Every structure is written in C-alpha cells, then in structure tokens.
Homo-oligomer: A and B are copies of this chain.
Amino acid sequence: MSSTTAAPKLSPERIFTTLFAYQQTFALKASIEVDLFTAIGEGANEPSLLAKRCKVSERGIRILADYMTVQGFLRKENGKYQLTQESAVFLDRRSPACMGSMGNFLADEENVAHFARLAEAVRKGGTASSEGDNSKPLNERWVGFAKAMGPMAVPMAGVLTQMVKSSGEQPIRVLDIAAGHGMYGITVAKNLPNVHVTAMDWPPVLEVAKEHAKAAGVAERYSTVPGSAFDANLGQGYDYVFITNFLHHFDIPTNEMLLRRFCAALKPGGTALTVEFVPNEDRVSPPMAACFSAVMLATTDAGDAYTFAEYERMHRAAGFKTCTLHHVPDLPEQIVSAEK
C-alpha cells in the first residue's frame, strides 16, 4: 500500500474501464446531440447557463460536462468549462472541420447491435446479423453513412488531390467507386479544375453525393452511375479510379473480381487509388488499422482489414502492373496505388 513501492500494483482497473468503455461512446454522442460543445464555445460555461442554452436539465448537463472533462474533451477551472483545441476544431458545430455527425454512423444503433453479438460472429466467422452481404443494396445504412461521414474524408481527400497528376489543360476523368458522401472525388474536383468525376453508388446514396457536389460548386463536373460495383456499367477510359473504404467489405476472391472490373474501366497507364485501413504484417499494428478487422468481423459476412501484401496479390491477380503502398502520416488510413 506504500506509495514508494517500485512495481505498479496489479489492478483490475483497466478491465473495469474497458467493460465501461461503451459509456465513453454514448457520452460523446449525447454531448454532440445536445450541442454541448457549441454551447460552451459560445460562452455558456456553467451548468445553469448550459441547461438554458441546451434546453436540458442542469443536473444532467453538469454530470455530462464533468464526464467529458474527465475524458479530456473539455477543461474545467473554478467550476467553469472551456473547450479544448480538439473539441473547438472538431466538435463545435460552428467549426468548418466539425466531425460531430460521425457518431450517427460509427455508433449508430445498428453498428452497436452488431458488435454486441461479437461472440456469435467469432463462432461463425462473420457477422451475426443478416445484413452482412454488402453486394446487396442496404440503402438506409449507406445513406446514413453518406450523411454522417463526409467530414472524416476531407483530410485524406487532400492527400488524394496531391496524388492526381493534373499538369496541363486536358480533362482528367475520375471514377469514384461506391462514392457514398462523395467527398473524396468532390474534394479533388474542387481543388483541380480539370478533374471530372463519375460517382457510382446506389441511387438514394448518390442523391447525398450530388447535394455535396452542388454545395462544393463542382456539380457541372460531376456525373453519376447508379448501381453496384458488381454490375453497374462503369464505362471506360478513366485516368483514375478511387476505391475508398470499399474493398474491406469483401473476401479476397470477390475483391480480385471487383479489381478486374475497375482495371477494365481505366485507360492504359491509368491508376487505381485505394484508401484503406492497412495493418502491418503482424496484424496488431498500427492500432486503428489493426482494430478495423474486428469491425469487419462484426458487421460483414467476410470482410477484413487486409495487409499490403494481400492488397498487392489482389491487384496483381486483377491485372495491375504495379502496386505501391503510400504511408499517410497522421491519418488512420493509407493509400494503395496501382497502375494498369
């Protein structure tokens, strides 16, 4: 019990904290939902002021704000709350980089319910839900994704922009597979005026992407192909195909088949740019990419976070000539580029 003991005492605290970790998710979601961060950003810095501003109980918001302080998303001094730099940039609704909407997908009822059945998925080797086949339209799910996850894509879309070779005046044609919110292609088009994007997804999802394209002022260089990557008429002669957070939903033979289709849509010398969670060969690093395998186990029939060696084999089998891994610093995902 002495504080001079050298070795840290073995404690079950981390097990307790992990079994309570779901509370961190729901507390952040609740904070976003009642607009706690925006309210503090606007100057409501005490429970009584926050209760009025957020239209909630004073007791409830005091407990929530204290919890978010313990989690490091707020600071509290002399009973008054302040935003941290992180929450001011990413959680205050007035910030252009606000990512609050992400909770509506990452921790939606369906994802949580799938994970709650993880033991069943481990027994079976795939999701315990009946909706794990992502070749079938799951419109509600992917419209939800498209509405929630756009802000998360913007930093990586900046990196993609740098990888698109756009010197000269001639048009560059980009095919954006399962575009979702569309923010990868849209951001590239916004930055590079000679880029024309063809976005492919199910029709209700494309409606969200089209709204985003309009808001970004690139609607005139944005066309759409309704359908699935499995059977839509993708066209051909593209300079680039973007395959963003898509291949992780499927098994390796399916991905090889899909990559053959995407390769066929490229012009000779065209490039496929795949944005993915790519764990190292040990499959336990880096943390976010490695953990993503479990998300695929819980929510899909046969998806996975594939290593670069696996992506390389898939691309080669699909007819690509080269395959290169680009480490992207500071982001959880990486880019695999492959030339036809």
Are A16 and B332 touching (Cβ within 8 A)? Answer: yes
Contact of A29 among B34, B71, B118, B290 (CB under 8 A): B118
Nearest B residue (CB) for A20: B106
**Per-residue CB proximity of A10-21 to B under 8 Å, as 1/0?**
111111111111
Those of A1-38 within 8 Å (CB) of chain B: 1, 3, 9-30, 33-34
Which chain B residues border A332 with CB–CB below 8 Å? 13, 16
* A59 to B, closest residue via Cβ: B125
Given contacts A297-B63, A332-B13, contact A116 B112 (CB under 8 A): yes
Decide if B290 touches A118 in the complex (CB within 8 Å): no
Within 8 A of B (CB), among A122-138: 122-126
Query: Across the interface, do B17 and A288 meet the contact criterion of CB distance under 8 Å?
Result: yes
CB distance from A306 to the nearest CB of B (A): 12
Contact A124 B60 (CB under 8 A): yes
Closest chain B residue to A89 by CB distance?
Answer: B10
How many copies the complex holds: the figure is: 2
Which of A57, A284, A295 has its CB near the most chain B CB atoms (within 10 A)?
A284
- Residue of B10, B103, B121 touching A60 (CB-CB under 8 A): B121
Q: Does residue A85 face the partner (Cβ distance < 8 Å to B)?
A: yes
Find chain B residues with CB under 8 A from A15 CB.
Answer: 28, 86, 90-91, 99, 102
Complex CA gap A263/B22 in Å reads 38
Complexed CA–CA distance, A82 and B76 (Å): 41
Contact A19 B106 (CB under 8 A): yes
CB contact between A13 and one of B62, B69, B288 (< 8 Å): that residue = B288
Q: Chain B residues near A121 (CB, 8 Å)?
A: 30, 60
Residues of B close to A298: CB separation below 8 A: 23, 26
**Are B30 and A107 within 8 A (Cβ)?**
no
Q: Nearest Cβ in chain B — how far from A27, in angstroms?
A: 6
Chain B min CB distance to A64 (Å): 5
* Contact residues in B for A331 (Cβ distance below 8 Å): 11
Interchain CB contact (< 8 A) of A70 among B13, B118, B291: B291
Q: Are B55 and A123 in contact (CB-based, < 8 A)?
A: yes
- Proximity string of chain A (77-102) to chain B, C-beta cutoff 8 Å, 1 when within and 0 when not: 00000000110011100000101001
| A329 in contact (CB, < 8 A) | yes
Interface string of A106-117 (1 = CB under 8 A from B): 110100100110
Query: Is A316 located at the chain interface by the 8 A CB criterion?
Result: no
A323 smallest CB distance to B (angstroms): 23
Question: In this complex, what residue of B is CB-closest to A19?
Answer: B106
Q: A16-B332, A66-B294 are in contact. List 5 more A-B contacts (CB 8 A).
A: A22-B22, A60-B123, A63-B293, A70-B284, A76-B282
Sorted nearest first, the 6 A-B pairs with minimum C-beta distance are A57-B125, A60-B122, A22-B22, A30-B118, A30-B119, A19-B106
Can you list 25 residue pairs at the A/B interface with Cβ under 8 Å? Answer: A10-B85, A12-B99, A14-B72, A15-B28, A15-B86, A15-B90, A15-B102, A19-B102, A20-B107, A21-B21, A27-B115, A34-B122, A57-B126, A59-B125, A60-B123, A60-B125, A62-B283, A64-B122, A64-B297, A67-B290, A67-B291, A67-B293, A69-B284, A70-B287, A76-B282
